[in-house]
Each structure stands twice: as structure tokens, then as C-alpha cells.
Amino acid sequence: MKRNLFISFFASGLLTIIFNPVSLSQNLQGWEASPELVEKLSKDRKDVNYYEDKVLAYILPDPLETLSGERIRNKREWLKYRRPEILELFKTYVYGRVPRTPYSISFETVNENKAAIDGNATLKQVDITIGASGKSLVIHLSLFTPNTVKPAPVFLLICNRSIENIDPTRNIKSEFWPVEEAIMRGYGMAAFYNADVDPDNYDEFKNGIHGLLDVEPRKPDSWGTLAAWAWGASKCVDYLATDKNVDKKRIAVVGHSRGGKAALWAGACDERFSLVIPNESGCGGSALARRRYGETIEKINTSFPHWFCLNYRMFNNNEDKMPVDMHMLMALIAPRALYVAAASDDLWGDPKGSYLSLYHSLPVYRLFYPDMTLENFVPPLNNQVISGKVGFHIRDGEHNLKLTDWNFFMDFADKVWK
Ligand code: GCU
């Protein structure tokens, strides 16, 4: 009999979750990984688990119980005690801490075109210059706002792909940043290139913003590159909040894959983002680490030693010892809006684990919005589910950020922002 058993109960301060490995019926209940794809990927990578029935039972830390065992009963207690505690845990053990080094910041509009996109939008290209330690770096921010909507809600993309994907001249148009479509729907589009803030390679933290701000010797909880990109997104908001064309109450941060991990962390740290959209952000992003499905902490720390803080390596093949999991990162976004997206071929990024993170963040969201509910199985392909301030879709196909995804993001924004 096909069934899915979900049991949660509180035991010794821990939320215990047991998943029955027996598969769900695709048609009746929701999405499941294609068995053919699972077979194929498993053949290619014997060291990676893609089988749902090999996911072992795990226990998630309870977002509503403090480290000292106190129960969080309402939003006031959450905001006062548990939220700051969880934020600290993610700084200490996952993404690392931003140094306190003083720095200067200035904005210069280096190009403005009030008749961009066939006269429908205003383009501003703004240089955000950060200075410290006698050095400086520039984050090149591009911003299109619709001429008919002032001030406009804006999506800020952390671009982790090649810079052509965010071409301000619009000679190159990429689905990764579909400016024209967004403008037609009344949304502004902003983007910066992640490597402006920090290069995506292991350079012993000598370059990028680390080269400016890391004046003390590095510690086990010093920030990595994902935290640097997230910080860069916040510097863009420092500018956006000053721009009269931008509605500063409606700024979203969007990122894909490694950019999605950074977007989620940016959203957790910076409450000026009223909407947070991690697209296919997988391990170290939206996917529950304890499932050990697809990419794992050990794998990501080995391939990308610069992304996280050193402490994160304690959890290589040792996920159960982490005081957090990614449902708690999502809970940090509450009561703001959160949209999680996945793709059916991206099993490396664990679509199911990403949905379950969102699902398990709901006890926190419900402190603010008691009526929010989600099913405990992944929704069917290409179907958007929305409950209150959270939404999810799994698109069919490859690991990518496509116009289809953006259309779902904008549909969600239409609901939570308008
Ligand atoms: C690699 C990495 C992922 C990451 C992805 C990407 O596959 O293992 O964690 O999300 O690159 O950024 O495209």
C-alpha cells in the first residue's frame, strides 16, 4: 500500500520526525523523483544517495525550543529569545560572522536612462564603493524601474552566473534576469555580480571584500564567501532604500543555486528584505541537511572550501550534531514572505528536502499567521502552492533559473505585496 506516514511529537525537547520510506503516489499526492533519473544519477555517482528509501530517519531540532530548554509560546518570545539565538547559531556554525572592521560606503549613479526598455523603464547604474584598510572595491548595481509605477517593488538578483546574464544594455537578454517581463508586470529589477563582492574561488580570503575587512586573523566562525555575497546584497539595499523610484518596503532578494544560498542568508540577516526567494539552493541553502540526499555537507565543504565558515566542517558526515537545520533558517524570515523553488531534475539540490524545510518552518510562521498550513508532501510539478506568506513550486526540468520560475515569483509577489 502506498502511503506516507508523518508523525511528529515532542520528546526531550526535540521534534521527532519519522518518514516512511514507502513512496507516495505521483498522481494522487505530489511530486516524486523520477525512478529512471534516480537510477541514472546513482550509477554516475555511487557516493551520493538519490534513493528516497535510503534516507534514514532523523530528528530535527525544534525551532520553538531554546537551547536552555524553554518553550517559545508566542511571537514576542520568538522575536526576543529564539530568533536571535538561531541567527547566532547560523553565524557561528554555518555561514560565519561579518567582521566589525569599519568601512566607508558611497553611491554614484554612473549612468541613467529614463527611456530604457522602449521608454517603459528607467535604468540606473550605480557604483557602490566600499572602502577599508586603504583599499576599495566597487559593486556595480543595475536597476530598472517601471516608469508607470512609482515607487516600484523591486527584485534584487544576486547573480552567480556570467555577467552577460545581467546585461544592463539589454543587448543580451537572459531568462536568468528577465527585465522586460518584470517591467511589464510593474516590477523593478536590480542585480549585481557576486564576484564584485567576492570571487568564487578559494583564495585564502585574500581578495574581494575579505581582502578589505578581514584585518584580524581568521577564526573558525569567520565569514565565508556566501556570507560575503549576502552582505553585498545588503549594501545594494543601502542604496535602493535611498532611491525614490524604489518602494523600500517591497524589496525582494532572489538567488539561484549558490546565489540562492546567499539570498536565503541575506534574507535571514537583513530584515529590510520583505520577500526572500532561494531558487534551487540545495545543500547549505533550502535543503534539510539531515536528509543527506544529493549533495551533503561533507561534499560541499570539500568542493567549495571557501563558501562557509570553518566550524561548518564539524558537521561533515555528522549532520545530526548540528544545533540547526535549514527549516530554522527559513523560520528566521518570518513574518516576512518566503518563496522556495526547486526543479525536478535537480536531485543534487534535493527538491523534497527543500520543500520539507519550508514545511517545518511553519510552526514559527504560525506564531504570526495561525491559519497557515501546507501539505506534508511535495506539490505536483509546475503547481504553485501558497499559504499566507510562504510559497513553493517545483518546475519540471533542469537546474536553472528560468522565466517560468520568475513568473511564479511574480505571481507570488502579486499576492503578498499588493
Ligand atoms: C554545485 C554545488 C551546489 C551549487 C551549484 C550551483 O553544483 O555543488 O551546491 O548550488 O554548484 O551554484 O550551481
167-185 pLDDT tens trace = 999 999 999 999 999 999 9
Whole-number pLDDT of residue 235: 99
CA distances from 245 to 185, 187, 242, 355, 363 (A): 16, 11, 9, 34, 36
Whole-number pLDDT of residue 21: 35
Whole-number pLDDT of residue 107: 99
Give the pTM. 0.94
The number of the ligand 1 atom at minimal distance from the alpha carbon of 281 is 10
Selecting among 142, 257, 354, 361, the annotated active-site residue is 257
Whole-number pLDDT of residue 41: 98
256 is written with which cell numbers?
539561484
Q: Which residues contact 271 (CB under 8 A, 6 or more apart)?
A: 336
Q: What is the dihedral of CA 75, 64, 31, 158, to 10 degrees?
A: 70
The number of the ligand 1 atom at minimal distance from the alpha carbon of 260 is 10
Determine the residue type at 227.
A
- How many Å lie between the centroid of ligand 1 and the Cα of residue 35? 22
For cell 535543503, the residue is: 287
Q: Of 348, 400, 401, which is best to mutate to test ligand 1, by the most ligand atoms within 8 angstroms of its C-beta?
A: 348
209 CB near ligand 1 (under 6 Å)? no
Whole-number pLDDT of residue 19: 40
- How many Å lie between the centroid of ligand 1 and the Cα of residue 366? 32
CA distance linking residue 196 with residue 185, whole number of Å: 29
141 is written with which cell numbers?
548595481
256 CB near ligand 1 (under 6 Å)? no
The number of the ligand 1 atom at minimal distance from the alpha carbon of 348 is 7
**DSSP labels, 240-272:** HTT-TTEEEEEEEEEEETHHHHHHHHHHHH-TT
Instruction: With a cut of 70, list the residues of the chain below it in pLDDT.
Output: 1-28
Whole-number pLDDT of residue 349: 98
- How many Å lie between the centroid of ligand 1 and the Cα of residue 415? 30
- What does DSSP say about strands 135-146 and 121-132: parallel, antiparallel, or unpaired? antiparallel
In whole angstroms, what separates CA 418 from the centre of its chain?
22
**DSSP labels, 304-318:** -TTSS-GGGGGGTT-
Active site (annotated) includes residue 257: yes
Whole-number pLDDT of residue 52: 97
Active site (annotated) includes residue 25: no
Q: What is the dihedral of CA 310, 315, 317, 318, to 10 degrees?
A: 160
Whole-number pLDDT of residue 306: 98
